[in-house]
């Protein structure tokens, strides 16, 4: 099956996300202690907006942390573990098509597997994306589907 034209970009996005994550905070130059954030748990990111789990048919704004080639379970698990370690307890993963409207907004295939965090407002999603500390794929409004 031929790959979509964005496959290289998708691969690069995952590699960059993982590579930057692996390098973040690894040096002794860190000067701030970890602090609790509003997403629950401990995180070096203070006051990150709290995500939520939208119900079927609910409109939300997703921050797409990474697109995972072929839905590789090991990569998805690693990304979910990183989010959990950084205090984000409402992250999820699945096909972009289940976040109706997100694939078109991001210019990606609906069957692509995404790791994301949903927010009630665009402002919270944009703030999270900015303060997350590593590049994200993007932010998109969507209607929750596949939630039943």
- Going by C-alpha positions, the residue among 79, 109, 106, 103 that lies closest to residue 93 is 79
- CATH of residue 115's domain is 3.30.70
Q: Give pTM, 2 decimals.
A: 0.71
Is residue 24 assigned to a domain?
no
Phi/psi region, residue 133 (left: phi>0; alpha: psi -120 to 50; beta: rest), is: left
Which SS3 state, helix, strand or coil, does residue 77 take? helix
Is residue 122 assigned to a domain?
yes
Cα dihedral 24, 130, 83, 15 in deg (nearest 10): -60
What local confidence, expressed as pLDDT, does residue 48 receive? Answer: 85
Is residue 113 assigned to a domain?
yes
Structural domain of 67: 47-148
Per 3-state DSSP, the chain is made up of helix, strand and coil in percentages (nearest 5) of 35, 25, 40
Is residue 99 assigned to a domain?
yes
Is residue 128 assigned to a domain?
yes
- Going by C-alpha positions, the residue among 41, 30, 20, 3 that lies closest to residue 132 is 20
Let me know how long the chain is. 148
Is residue 38 assigned to a domain?
no
Distances in whole angstroms, Cα of residue 21 to Cα of each of 72, 78, 90, 111, 112: 18, 11, 19, 25, 21
Q: Are 67 and 16 in contact (CB under 8 A)?
A: no
Is residue 9 assigned to a domain?
no
Each residue's pLDDT, cut to its tens digit, for the chain (148 residues) gives 333 333 333 333 443 333 333 333 333 333 333 333 344 333 444 678 999 999 999 999 999 999 998 889 999 999 999 999 999 999 999 999 999 999 999 999 999 999 999 999 999 999 999 999 899 999 999 999 998 7
Q: How many structural domains is the chain composed of?
A: 1
Is residue 25 assigned to a domain?
no
């Amino acid at each position: 099956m031929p790959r979509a034209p964005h496959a290289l970009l998708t691969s690069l996005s995952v590699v960059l996300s993982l590579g930057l994550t692996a390098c973040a905070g690894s040096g002794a130059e860190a000067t701030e202690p970890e602090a609790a954030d509003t997403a629950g748990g401990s995180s070096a990111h203070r006051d990150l907006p709290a995500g939520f789990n939208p119900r079927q048919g609910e409109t939300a704004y997703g921050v797409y942390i990474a697109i995972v080639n072929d839905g590789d379970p090991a990569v998805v698990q690693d990304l979910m573990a990183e989010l959990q370690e950084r205090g984000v307890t409402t992250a999820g993963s699945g096909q972009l098509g289940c976040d109706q409207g997100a694939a078109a907004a991001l210019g990606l295939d609906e069957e692509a597997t995404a790791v994301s965090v949903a927010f009630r407002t665009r402002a919270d999603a944009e703030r999270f994306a900015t303060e997350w500390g590593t590049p994200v794929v993007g932010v998109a409004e969507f209607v929750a589907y596949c939630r039943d």
